[in-house]
């Protein structure tokens, strides 16, 4: 099968961008690396790597309370990153930006500190059938702890959240609506504004899992009008082990700390502890200082490219990849929502997804195979797993052609 001519794009200078990512310049099994596993974890540009190295080489010390120069430098960089995040998602105040290990910890924090104290027998927690395990299991734990019930909004055969079903499920006992902004397994972009508007009418707070949304387009938490928004640094060019919980200030102020320890206190005696102000009340212990500073550098890099341009170019990649993959006999795309991020999940007749991934690796093509931490989605589509190609703005149309050629080779070997 011959490759189609790649559509011309002037959205971004992909060659210049790729030069910033040293990991892309290598061979796997004797072939140039094609990295299409960005939904699991993106790669890092030199600017992020250098920022982290510079911190460790020149500025490392523990943050807050230190009077010496290195501690002051580290604190300034750490808190400077908080302001970078605030601007990036248009939060009102840095008090609304809590640093956590990632999206998973952010959801657990809200589940245990905000929802658990309010929930009881007969109350309901509402999620969708599209969710990552990180937005399922924490709510199951709260249900076990409180006697509340987990209710699930069904999805359609296209992989979209059923809005009409949602309107019937939300009610006076709903304590929170927790939704993925973008599905990691299918790429579906959920029209969360519609869901939030209905939740507002019912007085139901809303948490959005934005791990797959923030790296790929502009997010404005005030425009969304959500109560909580969570995302992870490692999916947006930043380090692992760092993430963000955005929460409305009035809600965070009313929530008890989830973890206790140093830095989240103002005073401690054996009789009583006085907790620190926001956001430090939720940041117990020595934080991931280098990770936070690296996250700030990653956001600056994304902003230098431009979130609107990133979204436009990745949509081109998605369109091209979808067209090319559908040319392969026996290949079926799982998840065909009208609005998607640059993620394509698929299965091939007679070939297990793990075998697809293994053969592709011999061709230097890295994709993800499995249930993608979304087993209920796999159950819905009656497949054990899918192969998933997920693209970023440093990928190219030529790399998609390499993916298609590798899949054709897989079909010839195993089909």
Please give the CATH topology (third level) of the domain spanning 49-304: 3.40.640
Q: What's the average model confidence in pLDDT over 372-379?
A: 93
Closest CA to 394 of 15, 55, 67: 15
- As a whole-number percent, the residues of the chain with pLDDT over 70 amount to 98
pLDDT at 1 over 50: no
Question: Which pair of tokens denotes residue 113?
Answer: 């500190």
Which of the following CATH numbers is that of domain 14-32+306-414: 3.40.50.720, 3.90.1010.10, 3.90.1150.10, 3.40.50.450? Answer: 3.90.1150.10
Question: Which pair of tokens denotes residue 227?
Answer: 């109560």
Q: Residue 19 and residue 25: Cα distance in Å, rounded?
A: 8
Map residue 352 onto helix, strand or coil.
coil
Average pLDDT across the chain, whole number: 95
Q: Residue 38 and residue 216: Cα distance in Å, rounded?
A: 11
Task: Compute the half-sphere exposure of residue 357: CA atoms within 13 Å on the CB side of its CA.
Answer: 18
- Asked if 319 and 11 touch (Cβ cutoff 8 Å), the reply is no
pLDDT at 272 over 60: yes
CA pseudo-torsion sign 195, 111, 379, 314: positive
263: pLDDT confidence band, cut at 50, 70 and 90? confident
Give 44-95 pLDDT, tens digit per residue.
999 999 999 999 999 999 999 889 999 999 999 999 999 999 999 999 999 9
Q: Residue 180 and residue 184: Cα distance in Å, rounded?
A: 9
- As a whole-number percent, the residues of the chain with pLDDT over 90 amount to 91
Give 188-223 pLDDT, tens digit per residue.
999 999 999 999 999 999 999 999 999 999 999 999
Residue 265 has what pLDDT? Answer: 82
- What DSSP element (H or E) covers 275? strand 273-275
* Total residues belonging to the chain: 415
The CA radius of gyration of the chain, in Å to the nearest whole number, is 22
Task: Compute the half-sphere exposure of residue 361: CA atoms within 13 Å on the CB side of its CA.
Answer: 11
Map residue 340 onto helix, strand or coil.
strand
Q: What's the average model confidence in pLDDT over 391-412?
A: 97
pLDDT at 7 over 70: no
Question: Which pair of tokens denotes residue 281?
Answer: 């009340």
Map residue 330 onto helix, strand or coil.
coil
Map residue 406 onto helix, strand or coil.
helix
Q: What's the average model confidence in pLDDT over 8-16?
A: 78
Within 10 A of 60 (CB to CB), how many other CB atoms are there?
13
Residue with token string 């390499």: 402
What residues are annotated to the active site?
Answer: 373
**Measured over all CA atoms, what is the biggest interatomic distance in the chain, rounded to whole angstroms?**
75
Give 160-169 pLDDT, tens digit per residue.
999 999 999 9
Residue 4 has what pLDDT? Answer: 56
Domain ranges of the chain: 14-32+306-414, 49-304
Q: What angle do CA 362, 368, 372 make, to 5 degrees?
A: 155
Map residue 113 onto helix, strand or coil.
helix
Peptide bond into 279 cis (omega under 30): yes
Give 82-141 pLDDT, tens digit per residue.
999 999 999 999 999 999 999 999 999 999 999 999 999 999 999 999 999 999 999 999
């Amino acid at each position: 099968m011959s490759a189609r001519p790649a559509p011309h794009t002037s959205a971004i200078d992909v060659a210049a961008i790729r030069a910033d990512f040293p990991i892309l310049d290598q061979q796997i099994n004797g072939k140039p690396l094609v990295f299409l596993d960005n939904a699991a974890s993106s790669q890092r540009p030199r600017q992020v790597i250098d920022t982290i190295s510079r911190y460790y080489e020149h500025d490392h010390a523990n943050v807050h309370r230190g009077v010496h120069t290195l501690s002051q430098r580290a604190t300034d960089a750490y808190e400077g990153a908080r302001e970078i995040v605030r601007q990036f998602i248009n939060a009102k105040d840095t008090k609304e930006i809590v640093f956590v290990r990632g999206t998973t910890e952010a959801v657990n924090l809200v589940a245990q500190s905000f929802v658990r104290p309010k929930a009881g027998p007969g109350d309901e927690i509402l999620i969708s059938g599209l969710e990552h395990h990180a937005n399922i299991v924490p709510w199951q734990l709260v249900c076990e702890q409180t006697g509340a019930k987990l209710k699930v909004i069904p999805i359609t055969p296209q992989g979209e959240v059923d809005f009409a079903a949602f309107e019937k499920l939300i009610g006076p006992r709903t304590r929170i609506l927790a939704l993925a902004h973008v599905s990691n397994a299918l790429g579906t972009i959920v029209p969360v504004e519609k869901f939030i508007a209905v939740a507002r009418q019912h007085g139901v707070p809303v948490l959005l899992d934005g791990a797959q949304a923030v790296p790929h387009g502009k997010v404005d938490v005030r425009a969304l009008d959500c109560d909580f928004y969570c995302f992870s640094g490692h999916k947006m060019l930043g380090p692992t082990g760092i993430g963000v919980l955005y929460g409305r200030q009035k809600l965070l102020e009313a929530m008890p700390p989830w973890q206790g320890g140093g830095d989240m206190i103002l005073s401690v005696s054996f009789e009583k502890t006085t907790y620190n102000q926001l956001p430090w009340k939720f940041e117990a212990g020595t934080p991931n200082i280098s990770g936070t500073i690296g996250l700030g550098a990653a956001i600056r890099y994304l902003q230098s490219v431009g979130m609107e341009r990133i979204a436009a170019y990745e949509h081109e990649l998605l369109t091209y990849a979808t067209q090319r993959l559908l040319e392969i006999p026996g290949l079926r795309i799982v998840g065909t929502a009208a609005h998607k991020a640059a993620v394509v999940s698929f299965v091939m007749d007679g070939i297990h997804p793990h075998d697809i991934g293994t053969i592709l690796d011999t061709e230097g093509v890295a994709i993800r195979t499995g249930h993608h931490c979304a087993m209920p989605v796999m159950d819905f589509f009656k497949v054990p797993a899918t192969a998933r190609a997920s693209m970023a703005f440093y990928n190219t149309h030529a790399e998609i052609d390499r993916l298609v050629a590798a899949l054709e080779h897989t079909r010839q070997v195993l089909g």
